[in-house]
Amino acid sequence: MEFSGVLVGLGNPGPSYEGTRHNCGFALVESLLRTVSRDGGDAQEVSGGKFSCRLWRLRSPLLGGVWLAAMPQTYMNLSGQCVQPLLAWHKVSPDRLLVAHDELDIPPGELRFKLGGGNAGHNGLKSITQQLGTPDFYRLRIGIGRPPVRGDVSNWVLGRPASDEQTRIDDALDRALKVVFAFADKGLDAAVRACKPPKEKKEKADKGSTITA
């Protein structure tokens, strides 16, 4: 079967990591599964054991075809040991891979979308890049911000957000679904535009409008 794309949400497996900042990618996959099932699509869990992941096959008009969605069970810093064999087995090239992950350099509640680039110290991205032999895959970056105390990154990413911060992240995850659907439908430029919050889109539209007498 030919797949239109593969979404990999990054995180760490196990109850002790649920709800942590580092598990934003897992949260997005879970939200996608609920949305596809609710809106008349099909989200079927299939065996991902040989790839060390939980794996689903998705059919939905929202995705414009058949996709795979995966949550690696390798722990974050070994994510590539899941992603590389998953893509190789299903004959999917890296340019059809979308990785959703937490991003320290983006404030909570904000999203960014890009193709390729560096890893910014993210061990999950580093592992995937090394195993694939290329950085040229798509990334949906979910902002979690940096810790207030410099050098406390490990405790920060493995910690759970405060309630107001969690609200902003939840809002971003809702928009992230629209980004995934925009990417599946129209590609990179549409996904980049969909990352912008509604207020920012409106302000730009207002600035671009002209009034004539």
User: pLDDT, tens digit, for every residue of 98-154?
Assistant: 999 999 999 999 999 999 999 989 999 999 999 999 999 999 999 999 999 888 899
Catalytic (active site) residue 122:
no
Flag whether pLDDT at 97 surpasses 70. Answer: yes
Whole-prediction pTM: 0.92
pLDDT, tens digit (0-9, with 9 covering 90-100), for 143-156: 999 999 888 899 99
- How far, CA to CA in Å, does 192 sit from each of 43, 51, 188, 201, 203? 26, 30, 6, 12, 17
- How far, CA to CA in Å, does 5 sit from each of 92, 161, 186, 200, 203? 7, 31, 13, 29, 33
- How far, CA to CA in Å, does 169 sit from each of 18, 21, 190? 14, 9, 21
* Tokens 């809002």, residue located: 171
pLDDT of residue 213: 33
Q: Give the residue extent of every domain in the chain.
A: 5-208
Flag whether pLDDT at 203 surpasses 60. Answer: no
pLDDT of residue 207: 59
- Domain 5-208 bears CATH identifier 3.40.50.1470: yes
Question: Which entry of 22, 90, 101, 122 is annotated as an active-site residue?
Answer: 22
Mean pLDDT value across residues 25-31: 98
Q: Which residue type is seen at 98?
A: L
Number of Cα atoms under 13 Å in the Cβ half of residue 145: 16
Q: Which residue has the higher pLDDT, 182 or 212?
A: 182
pLDDT of residue 201: 53
pLDDT above 70 coverage of the chain, percent: 93
pLDDT of residue 212: 38
